């Protein structure tokens, strides 16, 4: 939920997990900024290679990646 809320705050409340990131105005710069912010908020460490917006088609893809990391102990 935190990931969806962060994207909605930045790109509009109407954004849903199945929306294509490109169609919602997500670009490389704002994606990296948001992901770094989520890193701090969620207490996870994102791999640099995963900070490329072109790796994700939808917000659902981003959420799946972040959830795959789990929470720190």
Global pTM value: 0.86
Give the per-residue pLDDT at 57. 97
**Average pLDDT of span 46-54:** 93
Q: What is the per-residue pLDDT for 60?
A: 96
pLDDT band at 71 (very low <50, low <70, confident <90, very high): low
Query: In whole angstroms, how far apart are CA 47 and each of 18, 21, 22?
Result: 23, 19, 21
Q: How many CA atoms lie within 13 A of 8 on its CB side?
A: 12
Q: What is the pLDDT of residues 7-48, one digit of tens each?
A: 999 999 999 999 999 999 999 999 999 999 999 999 899 999
Which residues neighbour 61 within 8 Å (Cβ) at sequence distance 6 or greater? 55
1 or 8, which is more confident?
Answer: 8
């Amino acid at each position: 939920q935190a990931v969806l809320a962060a994207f909605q705050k930045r790109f509009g409340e109407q954004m849903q997990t199945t929306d294509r990131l490109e169609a919602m105005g997500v670009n490389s710069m704002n994606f990296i900024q948001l992901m770094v912010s989520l890193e701090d908020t969620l207490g996870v460490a994102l791999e640099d290679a995963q900070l490329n917006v072109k790796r994700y088609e939808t917000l659902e893809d981003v959420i799946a990646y972040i959830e795959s990391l789990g929470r720190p102990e």
